[in-house]
Amino acid sequence: MGWKLSIAAIVLLVTPAFAQAPSPQTMDATMLTLLGNAKVGKALDDIKADDARSLEEQKRITEIPAPPFKEKVRAEYFLKRMQELGFKDASIDSEGNVTALRKGTAGGRPKLVLSAHLDTVFPEGVDVTVKEKDGVIIAPGIGDDSRGLAALLSLVKAMNENAITTVGDVLVVGTVGEEELGNLRGVKALFRDHTDIDGFISIDGLGISRVVNQSTGSHRYEMIFKGPGGHSFQEFGLPSAIHAMGRAIAKISELQTPSDPKTTFTVGTVSGGTSVNAIAAEARMAVDMRSNSTEELLKLEEKLLGLVKQAVVEENARWNTDKMTVEIKLIGDRPAGIVEMDSPIVQATQRAVFGITRGKRATFGGASTDSNIAMSLGIPAVTIGGGGEGGNWHSRNEWYKPTDAWMGPQSALITVLMLSGLDGVTKPALAVRQAK
Ligand SMILES: [Zn+2]
């Protein structure tokens, strides 16, 4: 199928520099202009033709382990691929992110980041061998975020091979530390080192119609319960760290949280004790709390921390002592935020999905992704899907099926071109942010 759409009804695009966010009509016209452009059409066709190679790349990336804080080998592979695609200056920054600048014609701005994350949730030693059965591919991390990385490479390949020149700069990034304890360290460093970023896109997720424009905030804690410990028989009467923690968990499990804004909690891991016949001297648990609203997150946090302290008081009271204590450590802090629906980045994404799928509407929601940091800094950001379908994320049985997978990089390409502008054809919809 070609990409020529009817643009008869569209008023010819007049292209002055946008003083304000472009109107919805202008955004519509920009999308149709791009889809009707021969060079862009060729790039879209090339992306589709690249589908099988891109899937092989996705599998290859998956089989390079990238545990939290140990993304280096995968980063080096990604760097090598970027260099092969023509980015002679691609490099790995001080935090471990792979960055490559694709210069536009306007001298640097607006600057759009296009990224996917290198790390997985899986620790060292997990078997990352890709297995296939009946067209379904199974491997830890095959979707999250190997798909994003493969989609990113496919899109950049099509742009470079077709000499597509943008007006604004596009900074292509493979980030580290997106998952769990990585605490978004990659993007935190990126925004610290680059103060001229005007927009941020993360390809993280499958399909293309679900778009993240809200960042789910999260607070994560490790709670370490400590007591004297002793023999279960001889020293019976001492408080137990495990019992205290059990009391805390029982209380936490009864908490009520709103479904809108979605607010959640779980005690994710527990450990402790030394043997079956010892009163536990130490027990620890990790707690995850999330919300699309900072206010609700803080409310939940206050309640939950109160319950933990109360559990310790009760364990001490039970044995008439004060020897049980709890140490509460914040181990994860991701801000909540929202990008308004009328923001050009949301508008562009919406139109790209509509244009590529020929009529499907994007749905918008919240999640915790690399976009959190941009959103918390007030920088327009979205997290978009890389195409295909899958499930069992963050589990060893993660699966992926490449259904219409090419639509991921295709939709991302249109989004990028709407935001960054196609030289000589369309203006960037992304505004240059003013220095504060
Ligand atoms: Zn991810």
Question: Following DSSP, what letter does each residue of 282-336 receive, concatenated?
Answer: EEEEEEEEEESSHHHHHHHHHHHHHHHHHHHHHHHHHTT-S--EEEEEEEEEE--
pLDDT one-digit tens code per residue, 125-175: 999 999 999 889 999 999 999 999 999 999 999 999 999 999 999 999 999
What's the pTM value of the predicted model, to 2 decimals?
A: 0.80
Judge whether residue 298 has pLDDT over 60.
yes
Minimum mean pLDDT range among 15-24, 257-266, 326-335, 360-369? 15-24
Residue 369 Cα to ligand 1 middle (Å): 7
Looking at the predicted structure, is the pLDDT value of residue 390 above 70?
A: yes
In angstroms, rounded to a whole number, what is the distance separating the alpha carbons of residues 154 and 58?
10
Sheet holding 282-291, edge to edge: 263-272, 282-291, 217-226, 325-334
Check pLDDT > 50 for residue 8: no
Distance 96 CA to ligand 1 centre (A): 17
Q: How many angstroms is it from 114 CA to the middle of ligand 1?
A: 14
Name the β-bridge partners of 326.
225
CA of residue 204 to ligand 1 center, whole Å: 5
- Provide the pLDDT for residue 233: 98
Q: Show the DSSP H helices in 121-253 as ranges.
A: 146-161, 185-193, 241-252
CA of 144 to the centre of ligand 1 (A): 5
> What span, in angstroms and rounded, lies between the C-alpha atoms of 201 and 434?
19
Distance from the alpha carbon of residue 122 to the mean position of ligand 1, in angstroms? 12
Report whether 104 contacts 166 (CB < 8 A).
Answer: yes
| CA–centroid distance, residue 340 to ligand 1 (Å) | 22
Cα of 179 from ligand 1 centre, angstroms: 7
Give 180 Cα–ligand 1 centroid separation in angstroms.
10
Q: What angle do CA 285, 290, 292 make, to 5 degrees?
A: 175
Contact 195, 185 (CB under 8 A): no
Work out the average pLDDT over 368-396.
94
Average pLDDT, stretch 263-282?
A: 97
State the pLDDT at residue 366.
87
Most confidently predicted of 9-13, 192-196, 211-215:
192-196
What's the CA gap between 146 and 143, in Å, rounded? Answer: 5
Please give the distance, rounded to the nearest whole angstrom, from the Cα atom of residue 178 to the centre of ligand 1.
7
Q: What angle, 0 to 180 degrees and rounded to 10, lies between the N-to-C axes of helices 51-62 and 146-161? A: 140
Q: Are 296 and 257 in contact (CB under 8 A)?
A: yes
Distance CA 223, CA 270 (A): 10
| Centroid of ligand 1 to alpha carbon of 21 (angstroms) | 30
pLDDT of amino acid 338: 87
- Confidence at 266, pLDDT banded by 50, 70, 90: very high
Angle 410-412-418 from CA coordinates, rounded to 5°: 105
Give how far the C-alpha of residue 332 lies from the chain's centroid of Cα atoms, to the nearest Å: 15
**Alpha helices (H) along 21-168:** 24-36, 38-49, 51-62, 72-84, 146-161
Paired with 99 in beta bridges are 91, 173
> 28 alpha carbon to ligand 1 midpoint, in Å?
30
- The pLDDT assigned to 299 comes to 97
Query: Is residue 3's pLDDT more than 80?
Result: no
Ligand 1: centre distance to CA 296 (Å): 24
For residue 212, the CA-to-ligand 1 centroid distance in Å is 12
Average pLDDT of the chain is 93
